[in-house]
Amino acid sequence: MKYTANYHTHTYRCGHARGEDRQYVEEAIQAGIKTLGFSDHAPMPFPSGHHSGHRVQMEDAYDYFYSIGELKREYARDITIHIGVETEFYPDTFDLFWDYISQFPLEYMILGQHFIGREEDFLYSGSPSSSEEKLVKFTNNIIDAIHTGKFLYIAHPDILNYTGDYEPYHREMTRLCQAAKDAGVPLEINRLGYFEHRIYPSDRFFEIAAQVGNDVVIGSDAHSPDVFRDHASIEGCAAFAKKHGLNILPELTMPKEFTKR
Ligand SMILES: [Zn+2]
Ligand SMILES: [Zn+2]
């Protein structure tokens, strides 16, 4: 499969990715990518004083936007670069977050709901759990995020490691997929998860997405520049989509006038 656009790319600033920003750009060009979106884990204000260790720190935010902005101009002939963030939706502080992040030249956001409710509660989506309450909260967070109209797509929508009965899972994931479909928000098949044999991309989730009729995108979730060399994982994700009869969108359109700077 021709893979020409990736909107899910991290940088070393989040603390768990490797390489220089420039290396991601050069490796992407080498791999034939024409559109590269950076979407590092968003810097975020926490009024509670919580320290979040898995994201760009607020003191590094300017550097992130500056560095990617410079590369965007420098490499404009070879590749289209977009500056975004991946972020969770925390209902109590989303407005505060939006006020903060929209001061930067932000072009798009993707939703990566790693934690549920408030990050301070450390309710990690990927921890095995049979709690139906957690399942419903996760789904509600994502649907509320979709309804803000601010997310380009949903990264690893199948990150929730729910180990309970199938019926509530099917009910909640149908609700999630339907909300995404109604809003025209695609769902991601996560290349990193495929590559590392994580619980996602999940067959049981994408069976539901196929029933609902969601569009999908392949997101590299690059935490290292050399992932763009691994063509096998692209073919694997494409085969996964095909197996489920899912429609892959090769390119996405950036939202217009995303922030009111
Ligand atoms: Zn990450
Ligand atoms: Zn990510």
Q: 148 C-alpha vs ligand 2 centroid, how far in Å?
A: 20
Q: 220 C-alpha vs ligand 2 centroid, how far in Å?
A: 8
CA distance 126 to 193: 12
> What count of residues does the chain have?
261
pLDDT digits (tens, 9 = 90+) for 46-96: 999 999 999 999 999 999 999 999 999 999 999 999 999 999 999 999 999
Position 257 scores a pLDDT of: 81
Q: 36 C-alpha vs ligand 2 centroid, how far in Å?
A: 14
Three-state SS letters, the chain: CCCCEECCECCHHHCCCCCCHHHHHHHHHHCCCCEEEEEEECCCCCCCCCCCCCCCCHHHHHHHHHHHHHHHHHCCCCCEEEEEEEECCCCCCHHHHHHHHCCCCCCEEEECCCECCCHHHCCECCCCECCHHHHHHHHHHHHHHHHHCCCCEECCCCCCCECCCHHHHHHHHHHHHHHHHHHCCCEEEEHHHHHCCCCCCCHHHHHHHHHHCCEEEEECCECCHHHHHCHHHHHHHHHHHHHHCCEECCCCCCCCCCCCC
Q: 222 C-alpha vs ligand 2 centroid, how far in Å?
A: 7
pLDDT digits (tens, 9 = 90+) for 82-110: 999 999 999 999 999 999 999 999 999 99
Q: 9 C-alpha vs ligand 1 centroid, how far in Å?
A: 9
Q: 39 C-alpha vs ligand 2 centroid, how far in Å?
A: 7
Q: Is residue 261's pLDDT more than 70? A: no
CA distance 57 to 200: 27
Q: 14 C-alpha vs ligand 1 centroid, how far in Å?
A: 7
Identify the nearest ligand to the CA of 15 by its number. Answer: 1
List of domains in the chain: 5-248 (3.20.20.140)
Quick check: 208 and 216 in contact, CB under 8 A? no
Q: 67 C-alpha vs ligand 1 centroid, how far in Å?
A: 19
Q: Report, as an integer, the average pLDDT of 223-229.
A: 97
- Share the mean pLDDT of the chain: 97
Distances, alpha carbon 45 to alpha carbons 15, 53, 69, 121, in Å: 17, 13, 22, 16
Quick check: 81 and 25 in contact, CB under 8 A? yes
The one-letter amino acid at 205: F
Identify the nearest ligand to the CA of 192 by its number. Answer: 2
Q: Is residue 211's pLDDT more than 70? A: yes
Identify the nearest ligand to the CA of 53 by its number. Answer: 1
Neighbours of ion ligand 2 (CB under 5 A): 86, 221
Position 258 scores a pLDDT of: 92
Judge if the upstream peptide bond of residue 201 is cis by omega within 30 degrees of 0. Answer: yes
Q: 40 C-alpha vs ligand 1 centroid, how far in Å?
A: 7
Identify the nearest ligand to the CA of 17 by its number. Answer: 1
Q: 221 C-alpha vs ligand 2 centroid, how far in Å?
A: 5
Q: 21 C-alpha vs ligand 2 centroid, how far in Å?
A: 15
pLDDT digits (tens, 9 = 90+) for 146-183: 999 999 999 999 999 999 999 999 999 999 999 999 99
> Which of the four pLDDT bands, split at 50, 70 and 90, describes residue 259?
confident
